[in-house]
Amino acid sequence: EAKAQQHKCWALLSDPRVLALPRKEERDVVRSLVRALLDGPARHGEDPVGLFDDVDALLRYLRSEQWNPQRAEERLRSTARWRKEFGLAALCAGTRGAAELRRESELGRLVVRGYDAAGRPVLFLRLDRADLGCHEDAILHMVYCIERVVACADRSKAKAADGKFTLLADFAGYSRRNRPGVRTINAMVRVLQDHYPERLSGAFLINPPMQVVALWRSLRVVISPDTYAKVQLVTCAAGDFPEDQLRGAFDRVTWTKAWCGGGPGYDADLFLSPEGWGLEFEAQVAPGAEARAVA
């Protein structure tokens, strides 16, 4: 086991992404973090697979903690514990929560669909569908969709792809009965902020009503400034292209496809199919669409 750990350390530290870091201090910090995570036996209650042994994950956590290796290690271990407690590996493998995912997915509220102008996949949230009122199921489905969208981001061949995704939340047809509970919203934000650092490129809330704007502003005290700054409130009519509000994240074509429904109709069975892992919905419907979308 010790020899295997040494091999993992060597593989991580000799990875081209580490060697390409421009500053020696950054490379030294990566070495410090890798040794802290991998020296010694694995800790009970952690699920480190795809986390401690993933260079991109290590770099994301370090960037999110301003290259402080102690804080990055603490945060990585917190995520490893959360993954274990949540049963993330079983969820991604399709051996947990099938019935719950099916109920939530049939609503068509949350789906990986389309790309932004940089080739980042879009996680699209529709708020015209009634919330089922189950906190645990809503969190389970949200985590599943985040894992789907980051898998799509990681395999993106777009030149500007950076492992991040963009969130679009459409408030057309919104009512209070469609809104998840405040407890659920808080939990969703915390999961994204704590366990998916450097994954969200930006979030666009399209035509949110005043009560939602007030709720969002009230959450500022529990959301990191970095996450809060990534959220943009957008006001526009159907069919419009609000270029001045989109911060360059979309051009007219990608905006129309992502928001205005320029693709095929949603199908929960197709979206949840194991073959769809790492694909956005249109690519599931029409193989080859992914390559065309990010070309």
Q: What is the pTM of this model?
A: 0.90
Residues of the chain with pLDDT below 50 are: 292-295
Query: Which tokens hold the place of 10?
Result: 């060597």
4-63 pLDDT, tens digit per residue, is 778 888 899 999 999 999 999 999 999 999 999 988 777 889 999 999 999 999 999 999
Query: Which tokens hold the place of 216?
Result: 């969002």
40-50 pLDDT, tens digit per residue, is 777 889 999 99
What are the Cα distances from residue 84, in Å, to 35, 87, 177, 195, 256?
22, 5, 33, 12, 39
Rounded to an integer, what distance in angstroms lies between the CA atom of residue 217 and that of residue 221? 8
Domains of the chain (ranges plus CATH)?
1-86 (1.10.8), 95-291 (3.40.525.10)
Gyration radius of the chain over CA positions? 20
Rounded to an integer, what distance in angstroms lies between the CA atom of residue 134 and that of residue 207? 26
